[in-house]
Chain A
Amino acid sequence: MSTDDPFDRVRKSNPIDPDTLPGAPLGMANSIMAERKPRRFHITGPARGVASMAFVLLVGALVTTIMLGGSDNPAVTQDPTTTVDDSTVTTTTKPGSTTTIATSGEDGVIAGGPAPWSALPLPQSALPQHLIEDWAAADNQTWCAVLYPADPAALSANGTSRSADFSGGWAVAWDLPGGPGRDTSGAYCADCGRGAYGVAGPDLTGATDDVGVWPDRITWDDGSRAGYGLEGLDQSGSGAPVLSYLLVDGQGCLYNVWSFLGEEHLLTLLDSLRFVEGMQPNPSN
């Protein structure tokens, strides 16, 4: 095999030098900025996220109605109603029963309320030994506290935790027999269950902008924030996991939290994350 860097050969084989290409037609940028085609039925701005949640809640309420027996159940014979304003979405499925979700007022961002990690930290005994050892050896342990679910069994009764490869940082992944995941080559699998969900504190610093790439975002009362969506912003249904970039107040790393089990599972996982006693950065460091 050649000892040369294979990337050097690819670089040299680049058939197009951007500097040799013609520039854009004069005034093209202005034309783009002047041309704002409103899409029919397309909602933009803060109303988009609110309307999306309203739709989800409405569908959920209808499904609940069906599951409870529809009109045979007198408690749910009334049509659900949804009201939306700038800060809340409220759905009423039956008299006296409402669901309200607060929005932060920022475009499409959901207010998560008190941060899950503001609850009491877990004892180290709640953690698998491999995670304790990984964090102790991690390069980022002085600025990236361990986050771990308060009740792993609630996420999946059959999940088995193991170390995951996030070089320089730490990570815990759960394998789920028969579930979706990624095989050792990195390819999606429908039933290998490898790394079906997990949490990682990579050796990468995070910035608020990192969460902005995602279509869905959450902010918590302590200033922590997360963005999430299908990995690769993939809409093709190729089995990509739902991935979240999480910035936790007081921590320097960009946490990665993922789940192949869908958005609801990811949100449950996020909501269950807690700090761990003795596994937070020492302020004196």
Chain B
Amino acid sequence: MGTVSASRDGTGFQRAFDEHYRDILAYATRRSLAADAEDVAAETFTIAWRKWASVPPVAVRPWLFGIARKVLANSNRGLRRRDRLSAKMASLSERSTIDRSYGEYSDVDQAMAMLRFSDQEIIRLHCWENLSASEIAVVLGCTANAASIRLHRAKHRLGQALATTSGGRS
């Protein structure tokens, strides 16, 4: 997104909003209730606008994912607190509105569930959000080299987990 100005101008923000709103909504929808996802997307762009003057111009899209990730984390912390208070032990996966009951990719879901959360997250950022290692580095705030290494290790562990859950089926 090198065309989006980093200056505090509404045109650049409007363009980033138009181009990436659905991406951010999709990211949030995969990880929360649909209604919450809309709130997460709105909060993400509200924060983005407040910080628009500091947006890295070549990395608007991953920068937005980075904000959404923190908004989602805060939201989930709030949900967990609420759940504890109301003694509802619904897991985050149960909260998801995504119907994963179909079987075609159940082995992938099972394999992903075997990985630690940080591995799941970096794989999803790469495969679902179509982010490169250097873009993931912006989201996670680590070096591109570190992101590349973590992605490589996560891929290796995913391959091992898939071998367990799918028995080698392709």
Interface, chain A (partner B; CB < 8 A): 1-4, 6-7, 9-19, 21, 23-24, 28-30, 32-33, 35-36, 107, 165-167, 169, 186, 200, 202, 204, 207, 209-210, 212-213, 229-234, 243, 245, 254, 256
Contact of A15 among B41, B100, B159 (CB under 8 A): B100
Contacts of B108 in A (CB 8 A): 9-10, 13
Q: Are B100 and A213 in contact (CB under 8 A)?
A: no
Contact of A13 among B54, B109, B169 (CB under 8 A): B109
Contacts of A167 in B (CB 8 A): 145, 148-149
Inter-chain CA distance A13–B109, complex, in Å, is 8
Q: Are A23 and B98 in contact (CB under 8 A)?
A: no
Q: Are B162 and A2 in contact (CB under 8 A)?
A: yes
Inter-chain CA distance A11–B140, complex, in Å, is 20
Inter-chain CA distance A212–B104, complex, in Å, is 43
Contacts of A33 in B (CB 8 A): 10, 13-14, 49
B128 and chain A: residue at smallest CB distance:
A14
Inter-chain CA distance A152–B39, complex, in Å, is 50
Contact of B144 among A4, A10, A21, A204 (CB under 8 A): A204
Contact of A18 among B18, B22, B124 (CB under 8 A): B22
Kindly name the residue among B58, B59, B112, B159 whose own CB sees the greatest number of chain A CB atoms within 10 A.
B159
Inter-chain CA distance A35–B149, complex, in Å, is 41
Q: Closest Cβ of chain A: how far from B103's Cβ, in Å? A: 11
Other than the given A9-B107, A10-B108, A32-B49, 10 more pairs (CB < 8 A) read A2-B170, A3-B170, A7-B123, A9-B105, A10-B124, A10-B128, A13-B104, A17-B26, A24-B41, A233-B70
Contacts of B128 in A (CB 8 A): 10-11, 14, 16
Q: Closest Cβ of chain A: how far from B1's Cβ, in Å? A: 11
Interface, chain B (partner A; CB < 8 A): 6, 10, 13-14, 17-18, 21-23, 25-26, 29-30, 41-42, 45-46, 49-50, 53-54, 56-59, 63, 66, 70, 98-100, 104-105, 107-109, 111-112, 123-124, 126-128, 134, 138, 140-146, 148-150, 153, 155, 158-160, 162-163, 166, 168-170
- Tell whether A29 pairs with B14 under 8 Å between CB atoms, given A14-B127, A21-B29: yes
- Tell whether A12 pairs with B105 under 8 Å between CB atoms, given A186-B150, A209-B58, A256-B145: yes
A-B contacts, 18 of them at CB < 8 A, read A2-B162, A3-B170, A9-B108, A11-B128, A21-B26, A21-B29, A24-B17, A36-B50, A186-B153, A202-B143, A204-B134, A207-B58, A209-B57, A213-B56, A213-B138, A231-B141, A232-B140, A254-B143
Inter-chain CA distance A3–B46, complex, in Å, is 44
Inter-chain CA distance A229–B143, complex, in Å, is 12
Contacts of A213 in B (CB 8 A): 56, 59, 63, 138, 141
Q: Are B56 and A209 in contact (CB under 8 A)?
A: yes
Contacts of A24 in B (CB 8 A): 17, 21, 25, 41
Inter-chain CA distance A21–B25, complex, in Å, is 8
Inter-chain CA distance A229–B56, complex, in Å, is 16
B105 and chain A: residue at smallest CB distance:
A13
Contacts of A30 in B (CB 8 A): 14
Q: Are B105 and A166 in contact (CB under 8 A)?
A: no
B48 and chain A: residue at smallest CB distance:
A32
B50 and chain A: residue at smallest CB distance:
A36
B148 and chain A: residue at smallest CB distance:
A167
Q: Closest Cβ of chain B: how far from A129's Cβ, in Å? A: 23
